[in-house]
Amino acid sequence: MKCPHCGTNDTQVKDSRPTEDNTAIRRRRSCPDCAGRFTTFERVQLRELTVMKRSGRRVPFDRDKLIRSVQIAVRKRPIDQDRIERLVSTIVRGLESQGENEVPSQTIGEMVMDELRKLDPVAYVRFASVYKNFREARDFETVLGEISGGGVTGARPPSGKPDERMTSMGLAPDERH
């Protein structure tokens, strides 16, 4: 393993142990040349995955890119790194178990949204807003309505009767926009 401090290829493993969720091996390493210490993780990879982008390009699957995307969605939320790692591991295992080496980027995005919806609704909305390319506030209303189990905020209920939330605010059904 190459030392990230000095670039030497001859580093030594000082300690190995499984991660908390047993999906990887954590190795503590040291460099005999610069005495630098660093940690590496070893994971099982069932197959080499290739991501098919919407543009038609094919790129190697990058687990770190997936982690960064999820971290952006959960930024400033009360979610620890271990839960993010488990979420990403769940997605990667799901992709690998599909049996295909090429995976559409849409499949990955949908899997991330499904997992984030279970983990944290705010993170889900953040990710969905980028993934689905929201352009106006109505797009947020639609997703928030899905999360809360209702329809779009302010929409007429299926019964055809005015929405109680709107009438309680003093708005008649025809005054809604």
Residue 36 and residue 117 share a domain: no
Facing residues of 39 across strands?
28
Q: Percent of the chain beyond pLDDT 90?
A: 49
- Determine whether 73 is exposed, middle or buried from the number of CB atoms within 10 Å of its CB (0-12, 13-18, 19+): buried
Computed on alpha carbons and rounded to an integer, the radius of gyration of the chain in Å comes to: 23
pLDDT at 24 over 90: no
Residue 54 and residue 40 share a domain: no
Band of pLDDT at residue 172, cut at 50, 70 and 90 = very low
81 within some domain? yes
Torsion of CA 16, 87, 135, 78, to 10 degrees: -80
Range of the domain at 16: 10-44
- The per-residue pLDDT for 71 is 95
Distance in angstroms (rounded) separating the CA atoms of residues 41 and 171: 58
Kindly report whether the global pTM for this prediction surpasses the value 0.75.
Answer: no
Q: What is the tens place of the pLDDT at every residue in 124-168?
A: 989 988 878 888 888 888 888 888 775 444 443 333 344 443 333
- The per-residue pLDDT for 161 is 43
Is the alpha carbon torsion for 105, 108, 113, 116 positive or negative? negative
25 within some domain? yes
Residue 89 and residue 78 share a domain: yes
Residue 101 and residue 23 share a domain: no
What domain count does the chain have? 2
Residue 145 and residue 66 share a domain: yes
Residue 134 and residue 101 share a domain: yes
Band of pLDDT at residue 107, cut at 50, 70 and 90 = very high
155 within some domain? no
157 within some domain? no
Residue 89 and residue 17 share a domain: no
Residue 141 and residue 108 share a domain: yes
Residue 82 and residue 143 share a domain: yes
